[in-house]
Amino acid sequence: MLESPDAPATILVVDDDPAALYLIEKALKKINPADVTYSASDGTETLAFLRKEGRYAAMPTPDLVLLDWNLPNVHGRDVMAQIHADPVLQQIPVVVITTSKSERDREEAMSLQASGYKVKELDFYLFTEDLRTIRNYHLGLLEE
Amino acid sequence: MSPERLPEILMVDDMDSNLEVLASILSSEGWDLAFAISGDDALEQVGARLPDLVLLDINMPGMNGFEVCRRLKADERTRAVPVIFLTARTFVEDITRGFGLGAVDFVTKPFHREELLARVRTHLELSLARSTISAQNQQLARINQELENRVQRRTRDLSASNQRLREEIEEHQRTEERLRESEQRFRLLVEGVTDYAIFMLDLAGRISSWNAGAQRFKGYGAAEIIGEHLSRFHVPEDVEAGLAEHALDTARNQGHFEGQGWRLRNDGQRFWAHVVIDPIHDDGNELIGYAVITRDITQQRLAEQALNRTMEELMQSNASLEQFAYAASHDLKAPLRNIFSFVQLLEAQCDGQHSEEVARCLGFIRDNAQRMHALIEGVLEYSQVRTDQSGEAPVDLNSVVQHARENLAESIRNSEALIQVGDLPTLRGRDALLLQLFQNLIANAIKFQPGDHQPRVSIRATASDDHWEVTVADNGIGIDTPHPERIFGIFHRLHRSVDYPGTGIGLAICKKAVEHHGGTIQVVSTPGQGSAFIIRLPQQPRR
C-alpha cells in the first residue's frame, strides 16, 4: 500500500518480446518516473526472481507484477499456478497484460487468481492510460 | 252311434198291436226303444233322435214305408241310419224295391223272435262297425292331409336350403378363383423381381422358395438351393457367431429383423447386403415360416465409406486451417502493435523537429500498421466463428439487439442514430454468433452514411412458412455494385479506406453466423437511398 500516487513502487514486468518490454517500461516511466521496474523475459526467471532464488536473492518483493500470458516454455498459466500455490507469493498482485483477446485465456487467468487481465492497446497513449489505472488501483490508491 | 251308449231303435207301425209285439221282443235286450205311428211321425223322430236302427212297416196309410225310406235316404243327416222293412208280404218286387231304396234288411210278419233279434243285432253291429270305420277313415284322412302339409312344408324348406347352399358354393368357388388369381399374380411379381432377392424359409430356416433377384445376387439356381439352410449365405465369422439363429429368433420374437453385413455368393465372393426377415403366420396365427428380402448395397456402402473418409479429411483440414488462422493471426498481432506503438513514439520525437516529409512517412507507416492490425483481428474473429453444435440454446433476438446497441453505444450516440426495433422472435441458436450478426449490421448501417446524415435503422421480423424473416434496413448510402451477393465475401470492400474504413470482414462474419443457423442472408438496396439486409432463419433448427 502506498500513501500517494507519487510514492515509488517496485514493479516486475514480464514479457518475452523486448519491444513490448521497452514499451511497457517507457509507459511506466511516464506514469511515475520514481517507480523502480525490474524485467524478466520468461517464466523461469520470473519465479526465481519472486522466490529470490540464486542471483535474485537480494531482490525486493515487487508491489505489482505485470505478466505476459504467452510466454515460451514456462507459460503464463504455469507461472500463475505456481504463484497461486505459494502462500507467500499469492499475496503479490499479478495482472496479466497480453495481446490475446481470447475469453478462454481471460477466464483461465482469472481462475488462477490473477488480479487482473488487460488486453494491450494498439495505441501507445491509450495503453499508457490503461497501465496508469492498473498501477494505481493495485497499489491501493484507487477505487475500482 | 257310440259303443258306450245303448243303441236306440225306432219302431214304425201304424198298428199298435204290432208295436207291442215288437216292443216285447226287443225290450229283452235292454235296447232303448221309441215308436212312430206314421210316416210323418217317423220322419220327425228320426230327424230329432237319429236312432241307431229303424224298424219300418211298409203298409201304412198316407206315407208308406217305401216313401219314408226314400226320404230318409235322401236326407244326408238321416242317410246312414239303417232301415229294416217289416212286411206281411214276401213279394220279390217288394224286396227288390226295398233294397233298391237303401234298406238293409227285410223281416216278415209274423215275426219270428230269434230271427228278428238276430237281424237287428247284426245290423246294429254292422252299423256300429260302419260308423267306426267311417270315423277312423275321417281321422286317417285328416292325418293324411296333415302329413301331406308337413311334407310340402319340408320340401319347400329343403328346396330353399338347397338353393342357399348352391349359392354359397358358387360364392366360395368364385372366392377361391380370385384367390388363386391373386396368388398367381403375386408369385409372378415376386419371381420376376431382379433387384431384390425375395425368398422364403420354412420353420427350420431352410429355403423354400426363390426368385430371380436371389439367383442374381447369390448365384444359386432354385433347384440347387431349395432345402438348404439360410446360413449357406453367411460368411464363416457369421456362421460361427450364429447369425442365422439370431436373425430368425429376432424375427420370430420381435416380428422383424433388419441388418447389414457380408453375404456369400455361390462362387465364394462376398457382397455387402441389407437384409430384412419377417415371420409369416397362418390364419390361426401359427408361425409357418419366414420371408427374407435381401438387397446388394455393396456399391452404396463403398460410396458411403468414401464419403465418410472425405468428410473426415475435410473436417480435419478445416480444423487445421482454423487452428492455423488463429495461430498465425495471433502471432502477427504483437509485432504489428510494436510497429504501431514505436511509430507513435517516433512521431512524438519528430514533433516539429524534422521535415514534414518524415512526418508524412511515419503517418503512412502507422496507418498501414493499424490497417494490418484490424485485418488480422478480423481474420481472427472470422476463424473463431465456431460452427460446432455446442452452446445451442433458445436466444431472444430482442435482447441480442439490445446487447449490440449497448456495445455500439458510443457510435450510436456520436451519430445520433435512431434505431427502431420491432418484436423479434426467440429461436434456438448461439448467442455470441447472433450478437456478432446484428452488431455488424447495425455498425455498418451507422457507418455507411453520407456526411451529416442522421442514421435511421429499423429491425423487424415477420413469420413466413416455417421461417423467420428479419430485415435490418437503413437510410445509408446503399450498395452500388453489379454483384451484390459478393459483398458477403471475405475482405470484399466497395469503398476506399479513406472514405469508409473497414476490413471487409464484417459481412463475411454475418453470413457465416446466419449459415450456422441454417439460414440465408441477402441484400436489397437502392444506391443513395439505403439498404435492407434480409435474414431468413428456420424456426425449427435444422442440421
ipTM of this complex: 0.84
DSSP B196: S
Minimum Cα–Cα distance from A68: chain B residue: B334
Instruction: Give B418's pLDDT tier (boundaries 50, 70, 90).
Output: very high
Buried b (16+ CB within 10 A) or exposed e, B234-272: bbeebeeeebbeebbebbeeeeebeeeeebbeeeeeebb
**Closest residue in chain A to residue B371, using alpha carbons only:** A122
B330–A100 C-beta distance less than 8 A: yes
Instruction: Note whether A9 and A35 are within 8 A (CB).
Output: yes
Is A120 in contact with B337 (Cβ distance < 8 A)? yes
* Cβ atoms of B295 and B273 closer than 8 Å: yes
Q: Interface of chain B against chain A, CB under 8 Å?
A: 330, 333-338, 340-342, 344-345, 370, 373, 377, 380
Cell 256300429, residue? B128
pLDDT at A144: 47
Three-state secondary structure call for residue A105? helix
Q: At what angle do helices B356-383 and B298-350 cross, to 10 degrees?
A: 150
* Residue B19: pLDDT over 60: yes
* pLDDT, chain B, mean: 88
Q: Is residue B506 within 8 Å of B375, Cβ to Cβ?
A: no
Q: Of B462, B469, B470, give the one whose Cα is nearest residue B404.
A: B470
| Distance between CA atoms of residues B277 and B205, nearest Å | 11
Q: Region B487-510: what's the mean pLDDT?
A: 83
Tens of pLDDT, residues B239-265: 999 999 999 999 999 999 999 999 999
| Nearest of B427, B387, B461 to residue B538 by alpha carbon | B427
Best of A26, A103, A124, A128 to substitute, by most chain B Cβ atoms within 10 angstroms, is A124
Burial letters A77-110, b for 16+ CB under 10 A, else e = bbbbebbeeeeebeebbbbbbbbbebeebbebbe
Distance in angstroms (rounded) separating the CA atoms of residues B34 and B10: 5
List for chain B the helix, strand, coil content (%; round to 5).
55, 20, 25
CA-based nearest residue in chain B for residue A15: B334
How confident is the model over B444-467, as a mean pLDDT? 91
CB contact under 8 A, A23 and B333: no
Element holding B137 (H helix, E strand): helix B113-192
Where would I find the H helices in B226-271?
236-241, 243-254
User: For B499-518, what is the mean pLDDT?
Assistant: 87
Tell me the mean pLDDT in the region B266-280: 92
Determine the distance in angstroms separating the CA of B238 from the nearest CA of chain A, rounded to an integer: 50
Assess whether pLDDT exceeds 80 at residue A97.
Answer: yes
How far is residue B381 from each of residues B393, B426, B508, B513, B517, measured CA to CA in Å? 22, 25, 10, 11, 18
How far from B474 is each of B357, B497, B499, CA to CA, in Å? Answer: 41, 21, 19
Question: Cell numbers 431382379 label which residue?
Answer: B194
CA B43/CA B304 separation, integer angstroms: 127
Instruction: Map residue B465 onto helix, strand or coil.
Output: coil
Q: B331, B341, B373, B377: which to substitute to probe chain A, counting the most A Cβ within 10 Å?
A: B341
Cβ contact B513:B385 at 8 Å: yes
Percentage of residues in chain B with pLDDT exceeding 70?
97
Which one, of B382, B348, B399, lies nearest residue B516 by Cα?
A: B382
What's phi and psi for B476, nearest 5 deg? -85, -155
Distance from CA of A29 to the nearest CA of B (A): 14
B487: helix, coil or strand?
helix
Determine, for residues A122 and B340 on separate chains, whether the beta-carbon distance falls below 8 Å: yes
- Taking the C-alpha atoms of residue B480 and residue B498, their distance in angstroms, rounded to an integer, is 18
d(CA B539, CA B518): 10
Digit-coded pLDDT (tens) for A38-95: 999 999 999 999 999 999 999 999 999 999 998 988 899 999 999 999 999 999 999 9
pLDDT over 60 at B195, yes or no? yes
> Is the pLDDT at B68 greater than 70, yes or no?
yes
Contact residues on chain A for B335, CB-CB shorter than 8 A? 19
Which one, of A59, A18, A19, A54, lies nearest residue A36 by Cα? A59
Contact A135/B at CB under 8 A: no
Nearest beta carbon to residue A124 from set B333, B344, B380: B344
Question: Quick check: A99 contacting B, CB < 8 Å?
Answer: yes
Tell me the H-state helices in B351-430.
Answer: 356-383, 397-407, 409-415
* pLDDT greater than 60 at residue B543: no
Bridge-partner residues for B470, per DSSP?
B461, B535
Counting residues of chain B whose pLDDT is more than 90, the rounded percentage is 46
pLDDT greater than 90 at residue B356:
no
pLDDT at B437: 94
Reported as a single tens digit per residue, the pLDDT across B179-191 is 999 999 888 888 8
Task: Round to whole Å and give the CA distance between B209 and B212.
Answer: 11
pTM score, whole prediction: 0.52
Shortest Cα distance from A74 to chain B (angstroms)? 18
- Chain A, 64-83: which have a CB under 8 Å from a chain B CB? 70
CB of B488 closer than 8 Å to CB of B504: no
Residue B243, CB-side half-sphere exposure with 13 Å CA sphere: 20
Contact B376, B340 (CB under 8 A): no
Cell digits for B405?
Answer: 446497441
Q: pLDDT class for B18, splitting at 50, 70, 90? A: confident
Residue B389 has pLDDT above 90, yes or no: no
d(C-alpha B351, C-alpha B339), whole Å = 18
Distance from CA of B239 to the nearest CA of A (A): 54
Q: How far is A20 from chain B (nearest CA, A)?
A: 7
pLDDT at B352 over 80: no
How many Å apart are CA B198 and CA B215, to the nearest integer? Answer: 10
Please say whether the beta carbons of B25 and B113 come within 8 A: yes
> What is the average pLDDT across B162-172?
94
Interatomic CA distance for residues A103 and B143, integer angstroms? 118
- State phi, psi for B198 to the nearest 5 degrees: -120, 115
Give the HSE-up count for residue B452: Cα atoms under 13 Å, Cβ half-sphere: 0
Overall average pLDDT of the B489-494 stretch = 80
- Residue B22: pLDDT band with limits 50, 70, 90: confident
Best probe of the A interface among B322, B337, B431, by most A CBs < 10 A, is B337
- Smallest Cβ–Cβ distance between B334 and the set A17, A26, A101 belongs to A17
Residues in chain A: 144
Torsion of CA A127, A133, A136, A139, to 10 degrees: -90
